[in-house]
Amino acid sequence: MDYRAFPFALLLASMACGGSQPREAEPAQAHGPLVHRFQSAEQWAKEFDDPSRDAWQLPQTVIDVMEIKPGMTVADIGAGTGYFEPWLSRAAGDAGTVLALDIEPDMVRYLKERASREHLANVRSALVPTDDPKLPAGSIDRILVVDTWHHIADREAYAAKLHSALKPGGKVFVVDFKLDATRGPPPHHRLPPEQVVRELASGGLSAEVAGKTLPEQYIVVGF
């Protein structure tokens, strides 16, 4: 057995047998979850993987802030079409594992095909429910949540599950849009970074806004 897949082999098999489906659209509310379907991976890839994204997403900066060491296990929650997967894969190295998780079956299909196409041998993709990343306790070194936190309904409960999944010394990185960003979700669905700090703290994490910011986004670190 490939040791990098353990205990994730059982985890991935259980996910593939029936992760819960995404929720239907709900009425908008201030700072409430933005429930949005991302069903057509090829269509969304035109936006998510547009080369111009690098100029404002600054993926290498995000990787640097995360301080990923070779051999680490990294989870990308809301991985979408896998924009961050090549970066995370290189940072974790051959001895590491990257878990690319999403709630949309078509995104997971695309993630698997991308990992094969781009020879990202340490990337494992899986379907997860909207309310649970299904990560074994004490199994993850780094968790990345990019442009996704504002989609989660019960963020305090979700934060507690992320906290449980961390190894000693593990960290969660939430990257989301600033209130005055020129792109991103509608303004009433954006979250101030201080709110993200409170939500992670409610889940048992110590949290703070990272000193490094991006052109359109902030980074909140939970540990």
CATH number for the domain including 67?
3.40.50.150
Per-residue pLDDT at 41: 82
Quote the CA–CA distance of 86 and 90 in Å, as a whole number.
6
Helix (H, G, I), strand (E, B) or coil at 216: coil
**Residue 68 domain-assigned (yes or no):** yes
Asked if 189 and 31 count as a contact pair (C-beta separation under 8 A), the reply is yes
Number of compact structural domains in the chain: 1
Peptide bond into 7 cis (omega under 30): yes
Asked if 162 and 143 count as a contact pair (C-beta separation under 8 A), the reply is yes
Range of the domain at 132: 42-222
**Residue 212 domain-assigned (yes or no):** yes
**Residue 17 domain-assigned (yes or no):** no
**Residue 182 domain-assigned (yes or no):** yes
Using only C-alpha atoms, what is the Rg of the chain? 16
Per-residue pLDDT at 4: 32
pLDDT tens for the chain, residues 1 to 223: 232 333 333 333 333 333 333 333 333 334 455 445 566 888 867 788 899 999 999 999 999 999 999 999 999 999 999 999 999 999 999 999 999 999 999 999 999 999 999 999 999 999 999 999 999 999 999 999 999 999 999 999 999 999 999 999 999 999 999 999 999 999 999 999 999 999 999 999 999 999 999 999 999 999 9
Quote the CA–CA distance of 124 and 79 in Å, as a whole number.
11
Helix (H, G, I), strand (E, B) or coil at 189: helix
Q: According to the 3-state scheme, what is the secondary structure of 92-151?
A: HCCCCEEEEEECCHHHHHHHHHHHHHCCCCCEEEEECCCCCCCCCCCCEEEEEEECCHHH
Quote the CA–CA distance of 146 and 62 in Å, as a whole number.
10
Per-residue pLDDT at 36: 52
**Residue 106 domain-assigned (yes or no):** yes
How many alpha carbons fall within 13 Å on the CB side of residue 166?
22
* Residue in 111, 62, 112, 118 with CA at minimum distance from that of residue 91: 62
**Residue 9 domain-assigned (yes or no):** no
**Residue 151 domain-assigned (yes or no):** yes
**Residue 150 domain-assigned (yes or no):** yes
Helix (H, G, I), strand (E, B) or coil at 198: helix
